[in-house]
Amino acid sequence: MWLIPLCFLLGSLPFGAWIVRLKTGKDVTAMGSGNIGATNVLRTTGKLAGILTLALDIGKGVLAVWLADHFTEGNALWMSAAAVAVMLGHGFSPFMNFKGGKAVASFAGAFAYLTPLPFWCIALLFVAVVAYSRYISLGSVLGAIFFPFAVWLILHPSWPVLLASLIAGVFVTWRHSANIERLRAGTENRFQWRKS
């Protein structure tokens, strides 16, 4: 179905890279952590750029699942596939030579639409972990790990939704492999609400 490639393409739009390029003329992948996501954009380019990147990346996740909902009349299989596709697009963007970000924001948008109650429970966990530790990566990884369990415990959903939540959790955790190593080594950057 045409919908899934469209969701992948939507996810692949590297808003962070484009925003930094427009604002500074620089390549965000050569700055800070090298990631195209909102955290690195915030650290390297400023609050407005970071917030705009976050909003657009969340928005493409929401839009992907909404499109699947709209065109398939709420079919759980297609909506779940759209959620995974938009995340994979963000992680392997053809606009970035099939490289990309960690897909946390697109994950947030997609699953806030697909599984709102479990998502917001995990969002509270994320906020608590980041507030305590000031490690966004730690909050993201713990949220990703616990998310499929939250979906199963709260919703007891159909298998496509559960499988999509599991794939999403594994994908986000895997994309944070380098952060996990830095957390273990004590060299991970702590979050600060200012441009470095």
| DSSP-assigned states of every residue in 149-164 | HHHHHHH---HHHHHH
The mean per-residue pLDDT over the stretch 45-58 comes to: 95
70-93 pLDDT per residue, tens: 999 999 999 999 999 999 999 999
Which pLDDT value is given to residue 193? 63
* Band (103; pLDDT cuts 50, 70, 90): very high
- Helices in the chain by DSSP H: which ranges? 3-11, 15-24, 38-45, 47-72, 76-91, 104-114, 116-133, 136-155, 159-175, 177-185
Whether the Cβ atoms of residue 54 and residue 107 lie closer than 8 Å to each other: no
161-170 pLDDT per residue, tens: 999 999 999 9
